[in-house]
A and B are shown apart, each in its own frame.
Chain A
Amino acid sequence: MSVIIYDKVCKRFESSKGYAVDHVSAEIGEGEFITILGSSGCGKTTLLKLTNRLYDPDSGRIMVAGKDISSVDPVELRRSMGYVIQQVGLFPHMTIRDNITAIPALMKWDRKRIDDRADELLSLVGLEPSEFRDRYPHQLSGGQQQRVGLARALVLDPDIMLMDEPFGAIDAITRLNLQNELMRLHRELGKTILFVTHDINEAFKLGDRVMVMNEGRLLQFDEPHEIARHPADDFVSTLIESARSQEHFWTENEE
């Protein structure tokens, strides 16, 4: 069953001439890990932001869990989805615990439930609760901050996670760890994940299926090995070629 359906979704911004998102149609199944791949300005972030109504489409519609989201209150919709961005956006004046449980606090959960939930999530994302809960964001490394960002997105146990280049600003080794942990979390929690990235290796490693986007259009949407074997057009072929040629360097220079 499809949990998210994009139906001829279009979005254009006044500042630019073309479409940011150009007649995109796609269906995403429950529990799928979808990566959205494309270079900057290809519309992948816009597509993600249309999904939780940070933007509204100019035409077309988006169904989430069987409901047209244009009729759902944006705040309700966003609370039903996790949202993680590259800059993390933790609030500097709140402790790690308060960052993670900002929304539950606004929803007036009782203290005990909030504290338990924060500790549970810190453990889940691999941070020792007793060590981290009372710290402030600036005391954490980039990788640790992004783990907290992930914990915050999971706090209301949403069925859908939207992630916008979450590991884009993180060093290669930490990124590898975080990718592996995200795959573990996906297996354990079974959530539907939409993950935007411009890194083809990341997209093909993480995604059950990959959306390849260019200039607002969805060029191909398929499993990684299908895309690798049967690229839909020249753009996708070129993309695959570029990844292969990088691969060459490493195989040629093996010890």
Chain B
Amino acid sequence: MITGIAEYISTHTMQLLGQIATHTGISLFALLVAAVIGIPCGYLASRSEKAELIVSAPFEMLRVVPSLAFLILLIPVMGTGLAPTIVALTVLAVPPILLNTIVGFRTVPDFMIESAMGIGMTDKEILHKVRIPAAMPMILAGVRTALVEVFASTTLAAKIGAGGLGEIIFTGLGLNRTDLLVLGGVLTAVLSLAAGGVFDALSRRIMKYKYV
């Protein structure tokens, strides 16, 4: 099987690289959209229980639907290709980002806000200089969780023709070829880990203070 995989890699190098690039691109884009939705919504939801219910309930409901089912359900509405894939992956990625953002803002200690007010910061300054940086570790942890889920689930994109490493896996399934299943699975796992590693390195730079 090893030789089979090696041969496939050598004969399909360019195609593989393209699939990796597509896979990464789809994943990162979905993650970006999810962060743009999840972080501001999380901030708003952190400010009251009622707001939290309104914001998080729809995502909690959508989260219960398996991604594959969701993807298929989107076909009649959005057709196939990139758009429904991004939507499905975004729906998958928003909840961990949203929930962590809520917790992140809620757990900024009251005394820290009190001391910020006491030394004469305006509400806006407190948000920018204290609340957001203090919530950042939790927010980034949420993005990190979403990142791994999205990179793994982007394999499903191939099912509706958006490309990525899922193509190898679905080809393997169709042709009953174990070597392709293994190759697709391993590549997806390695790519997820690598993306996680890059993300951790970036997080460390943002939160330098935690590592001194």
Q: Give the contacting residue for A89; candidates B116, B122, B133; CB below 8 A.
A: B116
Q: Flag A73-99 by CB within 8 Å of B: 1 or 0 each.
A: 001111100110111111111110000
How many chain A residues touch B (CB < 8 A): the figure is 32
Q: Please tell me if the beta carbons of B115 and A93 are within 8 angstroms of each other in the complex.
A: no
In the complex the two chains form, is B119's CB within 8 Å of A103's CB? yes
Q: Is the CB of B209 within 8 A of A136?
A: yes
Contact between A93 and B134, CB atoms less than 8 A apart: yes
| Contact residues in B for A77 (Cβ distance below 8 Å) | 120
B130 is an interface residue with CB less than 8 A from chain A: yes
Give the Cβ gap from B210 to chain A, nearest Cβ, in Å: 8
Question: Contacts A102-B129, A106-B129, A139-B212 known; A91 to B119 CB distance under 8 Å?
Answer: no
From A78, A91, A138, A139, contact of B118 by CB (8 A): A78
Among candidates A54, A102, A156, residue contacting B121 with C-beta atoms closer than 8 Å: A102
Residues B119 and A153 in contact, CB atoms below 8 Å apart: yes
* Interchain pairs with CB closer than 8 A, number: 71
Residue contact B109 to A75, C-beta cutoff 8 Å? no
Please report the total number of B residues contacting A with Cβ < 8 Å.
Answer: 21
Across the interface, do B121 and A106 meet the contact criterion of CB distance under 8 Å? Answer: yes
Given contact pairs A91-B129, A93-B209, A106-B125, A85 touches B111 in the complex (Cβ within 8 A): yes
B109 close to A91 (CB less than 8 A): no
- Among B116, B119, B121, chain A packs the most CB atoms within 10 A around the CB of B119
Q: State which of A76, A89, A92, A106 has its C-beta within 8 Å of the C-beta of B115.
A: A89
Residue contact B118 to A52, C-beta cutoff 8 Å: yes
B115 touches A88 (CB 8 A): yes
A155 → chain B, closest Cβ, in Å?
8
Minimum CB–CB distance for B189 against chain A, Å = 33
Question: When the two chains form their complex, are residues A91 and B125 in contact, meaning their CB atoms are under 8 A apart?
Answer: no
Contact of B119 among A83, A87, A94, A139 (CB under 8 A): A83
**Is A103's CB under 8 angstroms from B121's CB?**
yes
Contacts of A152 in B (CB 8 A): 119
Smallest CB gap from B117: residue in A: A54
A87 and B111 within 8 A (CB): yes
The chain B residue sitting closest to A79, CB to CB, is: B120
Contact status A102-B119, CB under 8 Å: yes
Q: Mark B100-115, 1 if CB is under 8 A from A, else 0.
A: 0000000001011011
CB-CB nearest in chain A for B129: A102
Given contact pairs A93-B207, A106-B125, A139-B212, A78 touches B133 in the complex (Cβ within 8 A): no
How far in angstroms is the closest Cβ of chain A from B113? Answer: 8
Known: A75-B122, A83-B119, A153-B119. A89 touches B212 (CB 8 A): no
Give the residues in chain B near A87, CB-CB below 8 Å. Answer: 109, 111-112, 115
Q: What residues of A have a CB within 8 angstroms of the CB of B112 in the complex?
A: 87, 89, 91
Q: When chains A and B are docked, how far (Å) is the Cα of A156 from the Cα of B121?
A: 13
B125 touches A89 (CB 8 A): no
Q: Find chain B residues with CB under 8 A from A85 CB.
A: 111, 114-115, 118
A-side residues, CB < 8 A to B, are: 52, 54, 75-79, 82-83, 85-95, 102-103, 106, 135-136, 138-139, 149, 152-153, 156, 162
A-B CB proximity, top 9 nearest: A89-B115, A83-B118, A79-B120, A78-B120, A87-B111, A93-B133, A136-B209, A89-B112, A89-B111
For the A-B complex with A78-B119, A90-B115 known, give 12 more contacts whose Cβ atoms are closer than 8 Å: A52-B118, A54-B114, A85-B111, A87-B111, A87-B115, A89-B109, A91-B133, A93-B209, A102-B121, A135-B212, A152-B119, A156-B120
